[in-house]
Amino acid sequence: MTPESGVLDAPAGVLLDGDTWHLFHQYRPTPDSPARWAHVVSEDGPFDWEICDDALAPVGGEIGLRAGAVVANGSGLDLYFTSVTAVGTSIQVAQLADLDEKCPVSDDEFTVDSRVLRIGDVVSDRDGHTRFRSPCVVPAWESNDDRHAGHDGWLMLAVTGSGEAPVPVVLTSPDGRSWDFSGHLGFEGDPGFDAASIVVGPRIFRLRDEVDGNIYDVLLITLESDGIDISGFLVGTLRGTTFDVKTPFTRIDHGHDFTRPRNTNVTTGTVPEEERYQRSVIFGLLNGVGRQDDPRRHPTLATENWANALSLPRVVTLQGGLLFQTPPAGLPDAISRTDRARSWTGLCQIPAGSSLTATLLDAAGAPAATIVHSGDQLTLDRSANPHHVGDAVARTRLAEGDTDSLSIFVDGSTVEVFANGGAVTMASRVYIDGGCSAIRVEVSGGAVLERHWERGPVTSGNLPDYEQ
At the topology level, CATH places domain 330-462 in Jelly Rolls (2.60.120)
- Run of H or E residues at 14: strand 6-17
Strand order through the sheet with 448-455: 424-429, 414-419, 404-411, 342-349, 448-455
Residue-wise pLDDT tens for the chain (468 aa)?
898 899 999 999 999 999 999 999 999 999 999 999 999 999 988 999 999 999 999 999 999 999 999 999 988 999 999 999 999 999 999 999 998 888 899 988 899 999 999 999 999 999 899 999 999 999 988 655 555 554 458 999 999 999 889 999 999 999 999 999 999 999 999 999 998 899 999 999 999 999 999 999 999 999 998 888 999 999 999 999 999 999 999 999 999 999 999 999 999 999 998 999 999 999 999 998 877 888 898 999 999 999 999 999 999 999 999 999 999 999 999 999 998 999 999 999 999 899 999 999 999 999 999 999 999 999 999 999 999 999 999 999 998 876 799 999 999 999 999 999 999 999 999 999 999 999 999 999 999 999 999 999 986 455 554 444
Cβ-proximal residues to 221 (8 Å cutoff; 6+ apart), any chain: 168, 199, 200, 201, 202, 203, 231, 232, 233, 234, 249
> What does the chain come to in residues?
468
Give Cα separations from 169 to 50, 123, 245 (angstroms). Answer: 35, 12, 17
Positions of E strands within 257-375: 258-266, 280-286, 306-307, 314-319, 322-326, 342-349, 355-361, 367-373
pLDDT of residue 63: 98
- Which residue(s) pair with 264 in the sheet? 14
- Give the C-alpha separation, 212 to 218, whole Å: 15
pLDDT of residue 21: 96
Domain ranges across the chain: 6-314, 330-462
pLDDT of residue 460: 46
pLDDT of residue 101: 85
pLDDT of residue 468: 45
- Give the C-alpha separation, 71 to 447, whole Å: 47
- Give the C-alpha separation, 172 to 163, whole Å: 24
Span 6-314: which CATH code?
Answer: 2.115.10.20
pLDDT of residue 152: 58
- Give the C-alpha separation, 97 to 242, whole Å: 35
pLDDT of residue 81: 98
Contact 282, 264 (CB under 8 A): yes
- Give the C-alpha separation, 79 to 384, whole Å: 43
